[in-house]
Amino acid sequence: MSGVSIGTVDRVIHERGRVSPEAKKKVEEAIQELDYQPNIMARSLRMREIADVQIFLPEATSDEFWQLSRNGIESEIGNWSHYGINIQTLEFGLKEDLGLEGLHQKMGMPTGMVLAPVGKVASALLEWSSVNAIPTTLFNSTFPGFTPLSFNGQDLFQSGRLAADLICNSGSAKKRCVILHLDEPVSAAIYLQEKVDGFASLALKKGLNFESIFIRAESDPEKLSQLLSDSSIGSLYISTSNGTSVVAELLQDLGRKDLVTVGYDMLEANVKGLKKWIYELPHQPKSWSDGSHGAE
C-alpha cells in the first residue's frame, strides 16, 4: 500500500536503519489508514522472545469480586504460555497507604502490565508504568488522565444510568433516593464516581431526589441501621460490590418491605441475600437483576 519494500516498512516500524523522509511518510500514512498494529504473538514466536506480563489486582480475600477475577486469570494462564507469554499475578491491599514498596521486590521490569486501577497502590503503579513506558491494559474501570493500551470492563456510567431508570420506573410513591457507598468512599474510588454520574444524568431529568451517603458497615452499624429504617426513603442504590448482601440481611431483620432496592454485582452472597429478603418476607419488595450491567 505504501509502495515501498518490506525491508523499508520493517525499518520504519522498528525505528532502525536509514529511511528517506518520503518513504517514511508513505509507510506512516499507510499505518494510520489501516490502523495497523503489530502481531505480538507472531513476533514472539518468530523471535523466540519471552514476554513477561504482570497482572495487578486487589487482594482476592478482600472481596468475592476480586476472587472471581483471579479465577478467570488463572484459567487462562496455561492457554497463553506456549506463545512465549509468562504471566504473573500480584495482589495489593486496598487499604494500604504504601506506594510500591511492597511490590518492588516481586515486580522487576515487565514487558507489559494489566491492572485494576483501584486504590492508592494502583494509582502509584500507573504513574510508574508511565515513567517507564510499560504498555498497560486496564480492566474493571478506567482512570482519568491515563490512556491505556486497551480497556476491558463495563460501561460504569451506563450502569449507573440503568440503576436510575429501574428506580424511576418502579412506581414508588416516595421520591427520596439514597445512593449508598458501603465501606468505600467515592473520593477514593473513581469507578464509583462514574456510577454516580450515570445515575445523576437520568435521575435529575426524572425529578428523583437523591443523595450519596458513605458508611463503614463494620465500624458504624448503627448508622446503617438508622438509614435503612428511615421511612422517608423510598429507594436505594447500592454502588459497592459487597454491599447488597449486607443491606439485604439488615432489611430482613428490620422487616422493611417497601424499599425499592438496586444492588451491584452478581456475586453469590448478593444473590442469596436478595432472595432471602424477597421470599422470606410476607410482602415481596421490588428488586431487579440485569447481568449485562451488573445491577441487581
The count of C-alpha atoms lying within 13 angstroms of the C-alpha of 177, restricted to the half-sphere facing its C-beta, is 30
- Per-residue pLDDT, 295: 44
DSSP state of 290: B
Count of CB atoms within 10 A of residue 209's CB?
A: 12
- Per-residue pLDDT, 293: 45
- Per-residue pLDDT, 135: 94
Which of 147, 83, 151 lies closest to 114, judged by CA?
A: 151
Predicted model pTM: 0.68
Distance CA 4, CA 98 (A): 52
Residue 31 to residues 25, 26, 42, 44, 201: CA-CA distances in angstroms? 10, 9, 18, 21, 39
Kindly write down the DSSP assignment for every residue of 124-146, as one continuous string: HHHHHHHHTT--EEEESS--TT-
- Per-residue pLDDT, 283: 59
Those residues of the chain that have pLDDT short of 50 are 99, 290-296
Q: Which amino acid is at 239?
A: S
Which of 233, 213, 209 lies closest to 223, judged by CA?
A: 213
Distance CA 190, CA 156 (A): 10
- Per-residue pLDDT, 291: 46
Q: What is the chain's length?
A: 296
- Per-residue pLDDT, 281: 65
260 and 236 Cβ atoms separated by less than 8 Å? yes
What the block records as the C-alpha cell of 186 is 467515592
- Per-residue pLDDT, 296: 44
According to DSSP, the residues that pair with 176 across neighbouring strands are 209
- Per-residue pLDDT, 257: 80
Question: CB within 8 A of 223, min separation 6: which ones?
Answer: 215
26 and 2 Cβ atoms separated by less than 8 Å? yes
267 and 245 Cβ atoms separated by less than 8 Å? yes
Question: CB within 8 A of 265, min separation 6: which ones?
Answer: 65, 241, 242, 244, 294, 296
Distance CA 25, CA 2 (A): 9
Q: Buried b / exposed e across 37-47, counting CB within 10 Å, b at 16+?
A: eeebeeebeee
Domains and CATH numbers, the chain: 6-36 (no CATH), 47-152 (3.40.50.2300), 156-280 (3.40.50.2300)
The count of C-alpha atoms lying within 13 angstroms of the C-alpha of 249, restricted to the half-sphere facing its C-beta, is 10
Distance CA 114, CA 182 (A): 27
- Residue 243's φ and ψ, nearest 5 degrees, are -85, -25
